[in-house]
A = this chain, B = another copy of it.
Amino acid sequence: MTPGGDDQPGAVSLEGLDSVLSASPEREAEAGRASTATLYDVARLAGVSTATVSRVVHGQDRVRAATRARVQQVIEQLGYVPDGAAQSLSRRRKNVIGLVCVEHVGLAPRQYDIESMSLLFYDEVLRGVEARLRDHDLSLLITYLREDKDFDWVTAPGGPLTFFPRLLSLSGKVDGLLIGEGIVPTPVLARLAERLPVVVIAGDPDERAADVVTADNRAGAAAIVTHLVADHGRRRLFHVDGPPTAPDAKQRRLALADVLRAHPDAQLIGSYDGLFSVQSGEDAAAALLASWGTSLPDAVVCANDQMAIGVLQALTRSGVRVPEDVAVTGFDDIFVGGLVQPGLTTVHQPMRLLGEQACARLLERIAAPSLLPAVQLLPTELVLRSSCGCPRGTATRQLVQPTHVVRPADGSPTPTTDGRRAAGAPV
């Protein structure tokens, strides 16, 4: 800091630390675990009561400057740090919220694979949550649940209480829970929500047991299918669906039906039940070629980008031209969608925002537990590239008109939907 001389920045901060570190190195080894100093130790050494130390630690004002200084001195000398468990117990407040990520079966990420891009969903959500949390001095406890391993409760004996043992036990360690995806059945959710605030991320918008924050999948999917049908005149559609347990897949499926109903000239010539993986997409394309090889559909609507990419690859490999012969669309807007050839037309899902809003809602509910459960739909964007039939080089994103949603009259200030990005901005 001081320019010139041997007084380097590093050296400066070291001085203070050295004294701290000097505390008997041998002692260390002997001690094994150096039983950490407690509030009592500090109080005793400073000649004050624990109440005073607590006040000092929390920067309260009812302490004389001299006392405060003395206590602080001892705190540093002892390297005292409050024990979180004791604080939580005493405060009846853990200051921790839990994030539960539910992994779909068959999505175990392989390294070096497009598949691992699916990580981005929770990773982005995580970022969003963290961003909201960091101002509040709350910690984040994260847990991954596997659809296959952690959900055997369905057939397990022992009654309701043994359901989701990991979820249950988690609920004892946090002040609130953020649950990704709506695989958790409503009764279980209700059970949890009874014990503590719960917000479901990307869950079923029809969920009644807990708050839900999700992308407006139905409007997004409707928009992209409508684009295919109305703007590109694609009539014969093939659907590559997502896993039955995925709520977003359900909404996208419903949207497809909506659009077909609105466009009687268009028809669904077939569908394939995929698993959200690239492999699923390839399998779907294979099935498609096998059954409709002679008269391919005009467009393949995929429930997510990974599958769309799989379809794209498999189709191209078989000499089918996209979008000339068949259009292909995805959903989610994962990064690679912009890199493949042709560029993948898809719907952008605001994952990060999902995390932020879900977290915000959870904090609201922790503050006011009696809020009624509500659904919050975040607007999506239609991302037009060229796999839908738009000209090569197209790269447009436009906000999808949000679904109209009614919030319960609980006086909550949270907006129903929340657009953060301007419509029509270039990619």
Contact = CB atoms under 8 A, between A and B. Distances in A.
A69 to B, nearest CB: 11
Of the listed residues A31, A84, A142, A194, the one surrounded by the most CB atoms of chain B closer than 10 A to its CB is: A84
A13 B218 contact: yes
A5 interface: yes
A20 interface: yes
Contacts of A85: 84-86, 88-89, 94, 173
A126 to B, nearest CB: 8
A102 to B, nearest CB: 13
Contacts of A155: 1
Closest 9 pairs (CB-CB, A-B): A84-B173, A85-B88, A17-B187, A16-B206, A76-B161, A10-B403, A9-B222, A85-B89, A2-B262
A319 B38 CA distance: 66
A416 B338 CA distance: 41
Interface string A5-23: 1011111111011111101
Interface of A: 1-5, 7-14, 16-21, 23, 25, 28-29, 31-34, 36, 72, 75-76, 79, 81-89, 94, 96, 109, 111-112, 114, 116-117, 119-120, 123-124, 126-127, 130, 134, 137, 139-144, 154-155, 159-161, 168-174, 185, 187-188, 190-191, 194-195, 205-208, 218-219, 222-223, 226, 230, 254-255, 258-259, 261-263, 333, 335-336, 338-339, 352, 369-370, 372-375, 401-406, 408, 427
A405 B382 CA distance: 53
Contacts of A82: 169, 172
A369 B7 CA distance: 36
B89 A258 contact: no
Copies in the complex: 2
Given A155-B1, A195-B79, A352 B111 contact: yes
A406 B222 CA distance: 61
A12 to B, nearest CB: 6
